[in-house]
A = this chain, B = another copy of it.
Amino acid sequence: MKIGELAKATGTQVETIRYYEREGLLPETSRTDGNYRIYGEAHAQRLSFIRHCRSLDMTLDEIRVLLRFKDAPTENCGEVNALLDEHIGHVAARIRELRSLERQLKGLRDLCQEAQDAAHCGILNELARQGSEGGSSAAGHVHGAHGRSVERKTMKDKRK
């Protein structure tokens, strides 16, 4: 099948597939006379595997490790288990961070019950106070607090 069909079959964007090839997660395929990539069932399975891992928020580096084991069926899978445990740790750590943020944010929110002039807004004034360290810092690899997908479109005219 051609790249567009593979994309449809796996729910992946065409550019993402080419990106994975560049990154070495998918092998380079054979090509048609017209230089089109052609894929088989094995490619579809491998891509499904990758996307499944990504849906669990693993990094491409983590996925690379798992793929090495997929490609070496006689190896002992102990490292796979360890990697998964670590990744679960990454997720758990980020959840703890975000819960702490949520608490702080709710406390902050309570400082302004009803709208007034900005100069007396408890929220703005509290944010202006210095100190109060303790934000997210160490540990794993689960980051950010802001999603992909939405509202990305509207960002074009941001600058200027």
A interface list, Cβ under 8 A from B: 10-11, 44-45, 48-49, 52-57, 59, 61, 66, 69-70, 72-78, 80-81, 84-85, 87-88, 90-95, 98-99, 101-102, 104-106, 108-109, 112, 115-119, 121, 123-124, 127-130, 132-151, 158
Contact = CB atoms under 8 A, between A and B. Distances in A.
B59 A146 contact: yes
Nearest to A45: B128
Contacts of A136: 55, 57, 147-148
Contact of A142 (B56, B80, B132, B144): B144
A134 B42 CA distance: 23
Given A78-B115, A81-B123, A123-B81, A146 B70 contact: no
Contacts of A158: 61
A139 to B, nearest CB: 6
Given A57-B136, A66-B124, A117-B75, A102 B90 contact: no
A145 B141 contact: yes
A56 B105 contact: yes
A139 B150 contact: yes
A66 B138 CA distance: 27
Contact of A124 (B80, B85, B94, B118): B80
A49 B108 CA distance: 13
B112 A77 contact: yes
B73 A118 contact: yes
A70 B118 contact: yes
